[in-house]
Amino acid sequence: MPGFVHCVERVAHSGVSAYNRNIQNLPDRAPCTSKHNNKASHMTLLQLINERVEAALAAAGAPDAPAVVQPASKAEFGDYQANGVMGAAKKLKMNPRELAAKVIEQLDLEGIASKVEIAGPGFINIHIDPQWLATRSLAALGDAHLGIAMPERRKVMVEYSSVNLAKEMHVGHLRSTIIGDVLARVHEFLGQDVTRANHVGDWGTQFGMLTAYLMESRNDGDAALALNDLEEFYRKAKVRFDESPEFADLAREYVVKLQGGDAEVLALWRQFVDVSLDHCHQVYDTLGVSLTREHVKGESSYNDDLPVVVKDLDTLGLLKEDDGARVVFLEEFRTQEDKPMGVIIQKKDGGYLYTTTDLGAIRYRHRVLGLDRVIYVVDARQSQHFQQLFQIARMAGFAPQQMVLEHVPFGTMLGDDGRPFKTRSGGTVKLIELLHEAKERAYALVNEKNPDLAEQDKQAVARAVGIGAVKYADLSKNRTSDYVFSWDSMLSFEGNTAPYLQYAYTRVQSVFRKAGDYRADAPVIITEPAEKQLAMALAQFEDVLLNVAETSQPHHLCQYLYHIATLFSRFYEACPILKSEGEVRASRLQLSALTARTLSTGLGLLGIEVLDAM
């Protein structure tokens, strides 16, 4: 089995109790010395089977026919099924079952599959050899990276959260922040060169109003106090703007001063932005999101590039004059009158727009950062903006063809009533308040289920479960659809929820607490069906992660972890661990260890904490 380095290591933990040593050393062993397997020759199990079936198809007279290998849809179909034979036979005008028989004759899965058979009209069912799985499991256990090899390293940017700093973070910011963070973590785990970007909205006319109001409240007394509640601050500034023409004029004047780099107005602006960013980072910390101040690169930072963007577009002859504004017309996008749609780059008054800034950002991301792939995790309602943006960026040469630009859209978070999530009185829900409520609800649950737990532990469980539940409820849904936010279902200990998975993890950990001695290099022996199913699923972790990285769909990882937890439960019931003896006991502990590490790694990639007990 090329590509997997087997290394067993023991870490000495001086001063740690024997109890802790078991927990710390075993299922979640510290990294061993083997480096990531960076070999280009490494293939995942799915890729390997796919390649072998394709080679067999070619040898059977169907060169270039895709093998279409997938995990089997039902257990009786084995572990994998190749569905490509029917298509290939049709092209060759052959009987598909005959072609399937020829393919099987040519198919080399020596040491990998224990049985290969034809099914139905010409499917090929592949049963993975338990011995192969045993070796694979042991190799994964011996590797800090669970035997997962790195695909080719590329420069990937994940742009997420990207809130507008004019207001406090509300539930509308939750999805981008949570989903983006998972994508960044998964790419990183897969060895990619990841840049996180928080493209915050910190520029534009609103900030003229806000800085003008900050100036006023400073003159009136305590500005810091006024900024305490950003929502309030924004609301009051808006009232002033609407009621007083003088104030409105001042606000407009401040916009011009901001853009012109006036030191005093800039200082006020910076003060506002700072306070607002502090709020954001308080939310990120509570959420356990990996964004730091270093990842913030706001719209304002492209201010100086905007005239250059306009100039470049103009030089290429892409700009047209339309009612005083400078516009790019796109043939592919049609207006209601079936005319090419215009995207405004510069307004009549000289001001720039959202798209202009985004063009500046793309230009920077190519020229300065040299990125290979940029992933924008932004609400589905901005889909058209991104389609147009990407097209203009290509036309202008700001992004070369090989630079992948992807909008990763998501739907809206809804309340019980099926309408966008709001407070009872219809206001927007502040994110920090929602997260506090999550922890309170989780605390009440722990208190009820486990009243004897120490207070400190209760708090830790409440945090892990409360925040985990909010994140998991979001991540486990297909992101493209809207989803209903429900405390009861997300905090349930049954079904596909964070508490269920966290609990499953503690169950595995409790096995180790009771087991005492454990041999990290014990061979894995697979005889029972429940052992095989668990080992098979564990061997698919790598393919699942690659799929998440490719499709930007974290729910595949959630589904997978839920599957693992379910299979572990079955294994636990069917195959006694602690009551068995010798090699069997040691092997079952190994499968349990791999389960624990897969669950904790997977949940870690989802940004969800695991606990040894709850």
Question: Which parts of this chain interact with ligand ARG (CB under 6 A)?
Answer: 159, 162-164, 199, 201, 358, 376, 378
Our CB check for ligand ARG shows the closer of 374 and 575 to be 374
Our CB check for ligand ARG shows the closer of 163 and 470 to be 163
Among 2, 9, 22, CA closest to 513: 22
Sheet architecture: strand order including 193-197: 193-197, 155-159, 373-377, 404-408
Minimum CB separation from ligand ARG for residue 329, in Å? Answer: 21
Minimum CB separation from ligand ARG for residue 495, in Å? Answer: 33
| Pairing state between β 340-346 and 80-82 | unpaired
Minimum CB separation from ligand ARG for residue 355, in Å? Answer: 9
Q: Helix, strand, or coil here: 344?
A: strand
Minimum CB separation from ligand ARG for residue 158, in Å? Answer: 12
Give all strands (DSSP E) within 411-554, no chain letters.
413-414, 483-484
Our CB check for ligand ARG shows the closer of 165 and 475 to be 165
CA 235 to each of CA 170, 184, 268, 391, 433: distance values in angstroms, whole numbers, following the listed order: 15, 34, 18, 37, 19
Our CB check for ligand ARG shows the closer of 257 and 407 to be 407
Minimum CB separation from ligand ARG for residue 408, in Å? Answer: 11
Our CB check for ligand ARG shows the closer of 50 and 176 to be 176
Minimum CB separation from ligand ARG for residue 497, in Å? Answer: 29
Among 143, 157, 182, 260, CA closest to 474: 182
Alpha-helix runs per DSSP H in 107-226:
130-141, 174-189, 205-220, 223-226
Our CB check for ligand ARG shows the closer of 254 and 390 to be 390
- Beta-bridge partners for 383: none
Our CB check for ligand ARG shows the closer of 247 and 386 to be 386
Q: Find out whether 244 and 209 touch, Cβ atoms under 8 Å.
A: no
Q: Rounded to 10 degrees, what is the CA torsion of 153, 156, 161, 164? A: 150
Q: Find out whether 128 and 536 touch, Cβ atoms under 8 Å.
A: yes
Residue 285 has phi, psi (to 5 degrees) of -65, -45
Minimum CB separation from ligand ARG for residue 116, in Å? Answer: 49
Q: Find out whether 202 and 300 touch, Cβ atoms under 8 Å.
A: yes
Our CB check for ligand ARG shows the closer of 46 and 163 to be 163
Minimum CB separation from ligand ARG for residue 147, in Å? Answer: 36
| DSSP code string of 159-170 | E----BTTS--B
Residues 29 and 188: their CA atoms lie apart, in Å, by 20
Q: Helix, strand, or coil here: 223?
A: helix
Our CB check for ligand ARG shows the closer of 297 and 597 to be 297
The answer to whether the Cα torsion of 165, 171, 172, 175 is positive or negative is positive
Our CB check for ligand ARG shows the closer of 358 and 609 to be 358
Minimum CB separation from ligand ARG for residue 353, in Å? Answer: 11
Minimum CB separation from ligand ARG for residue 588, in Å? Answer: 49
Among 376, 365, 375, CA closest to 400: 365
The 3-state DSSP composition of the chain as helix, strand, coil percent (nearest 5) reads 55, 10, 35
